[in-house]
Amino acid sequence: MVEITDLYKSFGKNKVLNGINLNINKGGIFAVLGPNGSGKTTIIKSILGMVIPDSGSIKVFETSVKKNSEYRHKIDYLPQIANFPSNLKVSELIKMIKDLRGQTNADQDLIKTFKIEPFLNKKLGTLSGGTKQKVNIVLTFMFDSPIIILDEPTTGLDPISLIRLKELIHAERAKGKTILITSHIMSFVEEVADEIVFILEGKIYFKGSISELKNKTQEQDFEHAIANILTENHA
């Protein structure tokens, strides 16, 4: 479904991606991990066509993402920092995105699940970070696309919403969707992810299941296994 070959990208002198090869051809939850600045968000933004790679190719459902915008109908994206136009109301934003992407009724359920009815008529600029993130989640999950990309989905969420989010992610996986997640909360990753893609210095360092990672690093604990990779490579 997503096929990345030899992806290179640098911002000025800073080489962020150094030949990424990644092939995801089945459903499931894939966690993209790596230290800060390792290029996680850059990969995600390249898939979405927001960052233009220096070289290499990205294919989504066999079509190249280059100079193409239609393929994004198949991707739901939750951006890292929920920045919205501040003088729009929540309901207007939802209406606008529907107008741009197509009609759906799933937003009603999501609004109820995340309890944002009281905020529907408030302007986005006045919302708290957590509430903005909930709106963000509603906007992402209201379309039924085969690929879902979540960039730091847990930011600012309260425990109840976090549980709801996990339920939502599991429900989407059950439908056979491909879900890409980046997160720094290791317990969250361990709970939801089927496979780990570990990125280090712009390259894929490890790809496989959590148990494989534990075996490779000979650590019992997932968090320590990740820490192990980092210290081995930076010590």
List the one residue from 5, 15, 35, 84 that touches another protein (CB under 8 A): 84
12: Cβ–Cβ under 8 A, 6 or more apart, which residues?
none
Closest CA to 199 of 71, 20, 63: 20
123 DSSP assignment: B
In contact, 31 and 70? CB cutoff 8 Å: no
- Is there binding between residue 72 and another protein (CB under 8 A)? yes
- Is there binding between residue 101 and another protein (CB under 8 A)? yes
Token pair in block for residue 12: 């000025």
CB of 224 to another protein, least distance (A): 35
92 DSSP assignment: H
List the one residue from 25, 62, 100, 235 that touches another protein (CB under 8 A): 100
How do 28-33 and 178-182 pair as beta strands?
Answer: parallel
- Is there binding between residue 40 and another protein (CB under 8 A)? no
Token pair in block for residue 136: 């963000």
215: Cβ–Cβ under 8 A, 6 or more apart, which residues?
none
Token pair in block for residue 154: 């847990």
Q: Which is nearer to another protein, 69 or 103 (CB)?
A: 69
Q: Interacting stretch for another protein, rule CB under 8 A, among 62-70, 159-167, 172-180, 219-227?
A: 62-70
CB of 86 to another protein, least distance (A): 8
Q: Interacting stretch for another protein, rule CB under 8 A, among 73-81, 104-112, 154-162, 202-210?
A: 73-81
List the one residue from 87, 121, 187, 209 that touches another protein (CB under 8 A): 87
Q: Which is nearer to another protein, 53 or 217 (CB)?
A: 53
- CB count within 10 Å of CB 185 equals 13
Name the residues that contact another protein, by CB under 8 A: 11, 45, 48-52, 67, 69-73, 75, 77, 79, 83-88, 96-97, 99-101
